[in-house]
């Protein structure tokens, strides 16, 4: 069962500010835009930051709000992935590290739903490899049914 987390308005504002800071930092350093994303870079960064905060809140973990560490875990040892699509997949890309665990969060601010997780080592199975996506980026699209359920996670929702 998915885990539902509600961010307070103040928490949501904090996440939005971090997302904006990340976007501006990327622009300043001329980093690639999110060519794989179906939404704007601003929305990607803000939704992503809010999803990270939701996982940090659920796990009672420190949320390191770094703006320049793209392949490091986002919260504890978790790499957070978010989507607004209710039936969306957890997407892992070719250059994503095999270490750590990838977590899928459905965003609908201020409500966030932690769907589940999968280890980076297990995520890149041939059966989930997606070479036909419209973004032209090699990736693995892991269905929600393949993710480890977080409802039995020892940490309770806050």
The full DSSP string for 67-128 is SS-SSS-SBTTEEEEEES-TTPPEEEETTS-SSSEEEEEEEETTEEEEEEEEEHHHH--GGG
107-154 pLDDT, tens digit per residue, is: 999 999 999 999 999 999 999 998 776 666 788 999 999 999 998 764
| Residue 158's pLDDT band (cuts 50, 70, 90) | very low
The DSSP bridge partners found for residue 117 are 103, 148
pTM of the full structure: 0.88
Region 49-63: mean pLDDT is 96
Cα separation, 73 vs 64, whole angstroms: 9
2-12 pLDDT, tens digit per residue, is: 999 999 999 99
Cα separation, 65 vs 67, whole angstroms: 6
DSSP annotation of 33: P
């Amino acid at each position: 069962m998915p885990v539902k987390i509600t961010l307070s308005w103040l928490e949501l504002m904090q996440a939005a500010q971090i997302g904006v800071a990340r976007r501006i930092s990327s622009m300043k350093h001329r980093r690639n835009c999110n060519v794989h994303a179906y939404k704007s870079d601003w929305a990607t960064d803000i939704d992503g930051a809010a999803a990270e905060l939701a996982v940090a809140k659920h796990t009672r973990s420190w949320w390191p709000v770094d703006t320049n560490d793209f392949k490091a875990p986002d919260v504890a040892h978790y790499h957070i992935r978010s989507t607004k699509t209710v039936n969306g997949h957890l997407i892992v890309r070719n250059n994503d590290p095999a270490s750590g665990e990838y977590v899928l969060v459905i965003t609908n601010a201020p409500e966030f739903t932690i769907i589940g997780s999968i280890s980076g080592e297990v995520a890149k199975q041939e059966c989930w490899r997606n070479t036909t996506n419209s973004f032209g980026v090699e990736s693995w699209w892991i269905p929600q049914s393949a993710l480890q359920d977080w409802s039995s996670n020892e940490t309770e929702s806050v």
